[in-house]
Amino acid sequence: MTWHLLRGGKIRILNIIDEYTRECIAVYVKRSIKATDVEWVLATLFIERGRPEYIRSDNGAEFTAKELMRWLKDLKVSTLFIEPGSPWENGFCESFNGKMREECLNINICGTVAEADYVIREWVQYYNTMRPHSSLGGLPPAPEAILPEYFVKTDSCTNLH
């Protein structure tokens, strides 16, 4: 995904979405994104969350580089590429990108990559932990906390009953 900065130039945003939970599990913001950047982000995720069975992506050069493909093959991670011009084949990520553009990028102005990175990460935190998702019954994909039923919020405090 590409976004333009106030002071000129564009940035690229790599979003990685878990298709099962709808959670944005990684976001990477830079002026340009290369295959080595994708490999670094994926390696970090594999260490934190385990190795997935497959990765779905578009056919961008950063995803089809020989070194990245060889690394994924060595790890026994399959690649599923969407057909060019067929964004519906990557619906979860396309939906997320549209929401990010509408709810974050279109309403914020940033002058630097660092500012954009901060604004985007704050929005992703909100998206994952607070924003209701219709596909999840109105719940966020990774709520900050799930309150037990005995918590009741009143006008000025939270009480146990």
Task: Provide the residue type at 160 as one letter.
Answer: L
Domains in the chain, please, with CATH? 2-160 (3.30.420.10)
pTM for this model (two decimals): 0.79
pLDDT digits (tens, 9 = 90+) for 51-102: 999 998 888 889 989 999 999 999 999 998 877 666 655 666 778 888 999 9
pLDDT digits (tens, 9 = 90+) for 99-110: 999 999 999 988
How far is Cα 81 from Cα 50, in angstroms, rounded to an integer?
21
> Measuring CA to CA, which residue among 115, 92, 149 is closest to residue 29?
115
Instruction: Give the pair of three-digit tokens for residue 61.
Output: 């050069």
With tokens 């295959």, the residue in question is 35
